[in-house]
Amino acid sequence: MKQVWTNRLVLCLLTLGALAGCSKTTVETTVPQTWKNASYQGPRFEKLLIMGVARFEERRRLFEDSLETSLASEDVASEASWKSLPTPELLDTAEIRNVVTAGNFDGVLITRLVDVDVKVESGNDPLSGAPMYATYRESYDEVRDPNFFDPNADYRVQTALYSAESEELVWVARSVTAKPPSVEEGIDSMTRTMARTLKEDGLVAPAAP
């Protein structure tokens, strides 16, 4: 009798495990648009400063930490900007330059939420040629950073990579994260996809041993 009960328990546990595996949600992020500065002749970037433009500090830190972790998984050195610039307020250009210089960053990633559940039309990237710090200021003013979350929406994010030395725009990508069940899962999917895309496009070098 004990053996029969044990067998039933094992069967129940296996069934529950299978159901849990089937119910696990896989969040998909695609990158339908990229643009690369054909005139950029510099080397691959070795250390990136991550700047997530957001008015809510908690989400900014969540995003920047996630992208730092995702880049590390691709063997790319980076650092979340909130560690040196811990404020949700609009940052002064001199403040950012000081952090870039002090941290020996050779690249700066500026990322912002473009829209929620609205189709992005194809065409030339609107930020091509825009100065790095002007892009940050404009993104801060225009960023759509709602204090709500809709699991039925698609989230469209723009990521721009700049050379820290020349401050020229090197690369831009538009990503779409489809209907994430939570903020955390959406950010995780987006940052893993973006880190992988940066590597595949030959923009980043492996971290120094």
Blockwise average pLDDT, block size 10, the chain, 209 residues:
42 38 68 93 95 85 96 97 85 90 96 70 47 58 56 89 94 94 92 97 89
Contact 157, 114 (CB under 8 A): yes
CA–CA distance, 59 with 182 (Å, rounded to integer): 12
Position 137 scores a pLDDT of 56
Per the structure, the count of domains in the chain is 1
Contact 161, 203 (CB under 8 A): yes
Phi, psi of 46 (to 5 degrees): -105, -25
Q: What domain range includes position 108?
A: 26-200
Position 115 scores a pLDDT of 80
CA–CA distance, 203 with 81 (Å, rounded to integer): 20
**Considering the entire predicted model, what is its pTM?**
0.76
Please report whether residue 1 resides in a domain.
Answer: no
Position 58 scores a pLDDT of 87
Position 122 scores a pLDDT of 41
Strands across the sheet containing 154-163? 28-36, 169-178, 154-163, 107-116, 47-53, 77-80
Measured on CA atoms in the order 44, 101, 166, 134, is the torsion positive or negative?
Answer: positive
Please report whether residue 110 resides in a domain.
Answer: yes
Please report whether residue 122 resides in a domain.
Answer: yes
Please report whether residue 130 resides in a domain.
Answer: yes
Please report whether residue 11 resides in a domain.
Answer: no
Look up the CATH number of the domain holding residue 85: 3.30.160
Please report whether residue 188 resides in a domain.
Answer: yes
